[in-house]
Amino acid sequence: MIITIREETIVQPLERTPHQILWASLVDQSFNVLISTIYVYRPNGTSNFFDANVLKDALSRVLVPFYPIAGRLKKNKKGRIEFDCNDEGAIFVEAETDSVLDELGDFVVSKDINMLLPKVDNTKDSYPLLSVQVTYFKCGGVSLGVTMEHSVADGTSGIHFTNSWARVARGLSIKVQPFIDRTLLRSRNPPTPCFPHIEHQPPPTMVPSKNILKLKESSQPFIVSMFKLTSHQISLLKAQCNNESVRFSSFEVIAGHVWRCACRARCLEDDQESQISIAKDGRSRLRPALPSGYLGNAIFSITPMLTAGELLSKPLTDVVRTIHETIVRADNEYLRSSIDYMEVQPDLSGLLPNPAKANCPNLGFTSWCQMPMHKVDFGWGRPVFTGPGSIFCEGLAYLFPSPKNDGILSLAIALQPDHMNLFRNYIYDFKRERSRI
């Protein structure tokens, strides 16, 4: 696919906003990475379909209340991230291609999908926190690639911003105003961590093995595949866990199933430890709960750990129970302790995104199922697809809903090629019990 850039502009807030250095929480510090989302729209027959001027005008308006996103990331003398709220603005790219949307199939992360994202150089000392690219296809369809610095907004805040932008484009007001102050997530004084917090410890590494599939280094190129799970297939998985006194969520059951499948596909030794880092929103878990418009990161890593032998020899329900119990323990006291634990660390580099926490033998798992991603309507209809635009390391997995509200969930996962070939065989194996390979 060939992309031609028509124009690149900087969109600044419509009016001057508070110029200040915005303090970033330790939770923000741990997400210093770019995150990208793709929205795909079919033409609706209107003459001004996805008019760039409408989008830019709405963006300039929404950046006024969401002014930190119009600023720049910087680091202070201690190496801590801060946000320079200076109205420098967001990058807006207009592009076109002779390709048609149908050539992209299911829109799984690929080189072609990456071309629909704005190019951001995050190696500089300061760079834009938001960049978007609108690409016009030969068929009349449009893709919107949104790349945001994760430390300024997690998924919940990011979709709040994008939906607010879309509402303004439709001539509506913002439904929930952003809450800017991040000091609600300061550590306690004095910091009093009271749990070991394995989520902040170095993750398990590969034990020596003679298995050729397992000897592949984690730096090997990975591929991304997408798998669709129907409501019936999810019910088959949940049926394996219906003897429990507690009802497990679909997310917990799918996470357990994917963890086992990845472990089996990677051919891990029985004594190999593996952790699954699950991203959970702490907004409603903290006491008091964070304001609904909280702009920032309130995502905490919940990290169950088992050996490969335990994962593959135990029934699915045991694995899911481990996940469920770990998530339940992540209450206000645990999350506050997590912040305190980060506060007392002498070296902040240990808090930065670490691909090893997802790389083989581990897994990173994020659900976008509770986010209103498919409601992003700029006035020309809702997207026909919304999903990750990029996955930055092996072992990361995203679960997200169908735009048709038909109960289908899509799993996008990055694995080494040899492992992916086996994973494809296991992900749709819903038998109650299966023998080990």
Percent of the chain at pLDDT exceeding 70: 95
User: Is pLDDT above 90 for 408?
Assistant: yes
In angstroms, rounded to a whole number, what is the distance separating the alpha carbons of residues 57 and 74?
27
pLDDT per residue over 39-98, tens digit each? 999 999 999 999 999 999 999 999 999 999 999 999 888 889 999 999 999 999 999 999
Q: Is 373 helix (H, G, I), strand (E, B) or coil?
A: helix
Whole-Å CA distances, 401 to 51, 67, 437: 27, 30, 32
Measured distance CA(28)–CA(34) in Å, rounded: 12
- pLDDT tier at 356 (50, 70, 90 boundaries)? confident
Taking the CA atoms of residue 60, residue 66, residue 71 and residue 76 in that order, the dihedral angle to the nearest 10 degrees is: 180
Q: Which helix (H) or strand (E) holds 72?
A: strand 72-75
CA–CA distance, 116 with 35 (Å, rounded to integer): 14
pLDDT of the residue at 124: 81
The string of pLDDT tens digits covering residues 276-309 is 999 999 999 999 999 999 999 999 999 999 999 9
Kindly state the helix (H) or strand (E) to which residue 326 belongs, with its residue range: helix 316-328
Cβ-contact 127, 121 below 8 angstroms = yes
Q: Which amino acid is at 86?
A: N
Given a cut of 50, is residue 436 above it in pLDDT? no
Q: H or E element: which one contains 7? A: strand 3-11
> How much is the average pLDDT of 395-424?
96
Tally of residues, the chain:
437
From the list 3, 221, 5, 7, the residue with the least C-alpha distance to 103 is 3
**Class of residue 68 by CB neighbours under 10 A (exposed 0-12, middle 13-18, buried 19+):** buried
Q: SS3 breakdown of the chain: % helix, strand, coil, rounded to 5? A: 30, 25, 50
CB atoms inside a 10 Å sphere around CB 209: 13
Instruction: Please identify which of the residues 51, 57, 318, 377 carries the catalytic annotation.
Output: 377
Distance CA 322, CA 303 (A): 10
H or E segment at 259? helix 250-265
Tell me, what's the pLDDT at 207? 87
Average pLDDT over the chain, rounded to an integer: 94
State residue 437's pLDDT score.
Answer: 40
- From residue 192, alpha-carbon distances to 5, 22, 180, 336, 412 in Å are 52, 25, 26, 9, 38
Residues 164, 376: contact at Cβ < 8 Å?
A: no
The C-alpha atoms of residue 327 and residue 323 are separated, in whole angstroms, by 6
153 contacts 69 by C-beta, under 8 angstroms:
yes
Tokens of 48: 């001004």
Q: Which spans in 25-154 are helix H?
A: 26-29, 52-62, 111-114
Confidence of residue 125 (pLDDT cuts 50, 70, 90): confident
pLDDT exceeds 70 at position 127: yes
Q: Residue 221: its pLDDT value, please? A: 84
Q: Residue 210 has what pLDDT?
A: 57
Query: For residue 433, what pLDDT band results from cuts at 50, 70 and 90?
Result: very low
Strands 273-281 and 363-367: parallel
- Residues 211-240 have pLDDT tens digits of 655 545 545 589 999 999 999 999 999 999
> Is 19 annotated as catalytic?
no
For this structure, is 150 an active site residue?
yes
Mean pLDDT on 245-252: 93
What's the confidence (pLDDT) of residue 405?
A: 86
| 110 has a pLDDT exceeding 90 | yes
Quote the pLDDT of residue 432: 53
Helix (H) or strand (E) holding 353: none
- Residues 99, 138 contacting (CB under 8 angstroms): yes
pLDDT (tens digit per residue) in 359-398: 999 999 999 999 999 999 999 999 999 999 999 899 999 9
Percent of the chain scoring above 90 in pLDDT: 86
Provide the pLDDT for residue 353: 67
Provide CB contacts within 8 A for 315, sequence distance 6+.
Answer: 240, 432, 433
pLDDT of residue 355: 77
First to last CA, the chain: 40
CA separation for the pair 349, 273 (Å, rounded): 24
Domains along the sequence of the chain with CATH: 3-179 (3.30.559.10), 198-426 (3.30.559.10)
Task: Catalytic residue, from 28, 150, 324, 340: name it.
Answer: 150
DSSP category for residue 67: G
| This prediction's pTM | 0.94
Contacts of 193 (CB under 8 A, 6+ apart): 337, 338, 340, 341, 344
Q: So what's the pLDDT on residue 220?
A: 56
**Region 337-352: what's the mean pLDDT?**
87
